[in-house]
Amino acid sequence: MMIHQIFISSDYYVILSYGDRFHFLNRDTGDLEHTYQHPSRITGNLITSDENLLFGDVSGSIARFNTSEMRKEVISKAHKAEITSLAILKQNDKIISGCCDGIIKIWDPTLTCEMLEIKGTKAILIY
């Protein structure tokens, strides 16, 4: 197994392997409890404060994976190209996504409302 990244939540060690699979290992026993395979290569990801897994992929989509229910909840076609970075503004839970075309977007926490787009040094207020 080629390991790309490891996250730690309160219940799981979450391992990203082969660029498209998340493996959830029980923190107490080390047993594999769940595997999720995404349809395309994952390029940017993080664990949110409510311990959901948020990730972007090569197609420009952002998805949220609910770790307590072990299912994908939200998928949004966020960019026209590969997402290279994701972050969360802790003070207001806004999500920031960066793309290989140089565009940065700021989203509401549900990923349904794009609030700001930044391209180069020019910002476009959306809401």
**Under DSSP, is residue 30 helix (H, G, I), strand (E, B) or coil?**
coil
Q: Is the pLDDT of residue 109 over 80?
A: yes
**Right CATH for 3-125 from 2.130.10.10, 2.60.120.260, 3.40.50.300, 3.30.565.10:** 2.130.10.10
pLDDT tens per residue across span 3-39: 888 888 888 888 888 788 999 999 999 999 999 999 9
Domain segments of the chain as ranges:
3-125
Q: Is the pLDDT of residue 125 over 70?
A: no
Which comes out higher in pLDDT, residue 115 or 121?
A: 115
Torsion of CA 13, 19, 20, 22, to 10 degrees: 0
List C-alpha distances in Å: 95 to 6, 23, 127: 21, 24, 15
